Amino acid sequence: MNKLCQSIRFVAPFLLAICCIACSNDKKLPFYGQREARITKAADGTEKVDTVYQTIPPFRLLNQDSIYITQDAFKNKIYVADFFFTSCSTICPTMHRNLKTIFDAYKNNPDVMFLSHTIDFKYDKPSVLKKYGQKLGVDGPKWQFVYGTKEEIYHIAEHDYLVAVQEDQSAKDGYIHQGWLVLVDKHKRMRGAYDGTKSDQVAQLQKDIAILLKEEN
């Protein structure tokens, strides 16, 4: 018994120290998607292994003002991306009601932006998106709504942001899609995905945006 007490006394400070280090360490967000190791050679001949994370490739899409936007619009910004359509009466209104609370929280922070892609390539032309943004109460460059061809948008959704989208005649509004809100950092890497229909996950997104903003400053 005595021995046990002694060993506890011996180990306890270490455990405490580990706890403290773990606690004081700033939380870092994970990286989503594929990753690969790249070996780079320094000038002195030593080899270094770098991890390369999946990034959002360049795009060029019409926004709500009928202007083509590219990744330049999101240079040095973190942004939240999602897929929706304006006539959706299922999950989209909930997603955007929740996302709007985050929009309002970061209204005055120019480093945070929003990017919604419409998957209704037939009806959601830029003018429709413009009206939608105005009525949602988020009119302005901070929240971009983009329109593209079916091929463009569906490819971006599935390959770049890893969100499933589909045209489906049997669905109530003609399309089905997942309600992920994808958090993208200043280096175009995906750092989180949150179910936009669940308020607890959206609250987590808001916390994670704060962590991401700190991480990169």
Binding residues vs other proteins (CB under 8 A):
89-94, 96-97, 100, 132, 134-137, 172-173
Of 69 and 136, CB closest to other proteins: 136
Min dist. Cβ of residue 97 to other proteins (A):
5
Min dist. Cβ of residue 132 to other proteins (A):
7
Of 83 and 154, CB closest to other proteins: 83
Of 60 and 122, CB closest to other proteins: 122
Identify the bridge partners of residue 49 per DSSP, sorted by sequence position: 39
Would you tell me the crossing angle of helices 199-215 and 92-105 to the nearest 10 degrees? 40
Of 136 and 183, CB closest to other proteins: 136
Question: Cα–Cα–Cα angle for 37, 40, 45, nearest 5°?
Answer: 145
Min dist. Cβ of residue 41 to other proteins (A):
55
In DSSP notation, 117-131 reads EES-TTT--HHHHHH
Of 80 and 190, CB closest to other proteins: 80
Min dist. Cβ of residue 95 to other proteins (A):
9
Min dist. Cβ of residue 136 to other proteins (A):
4
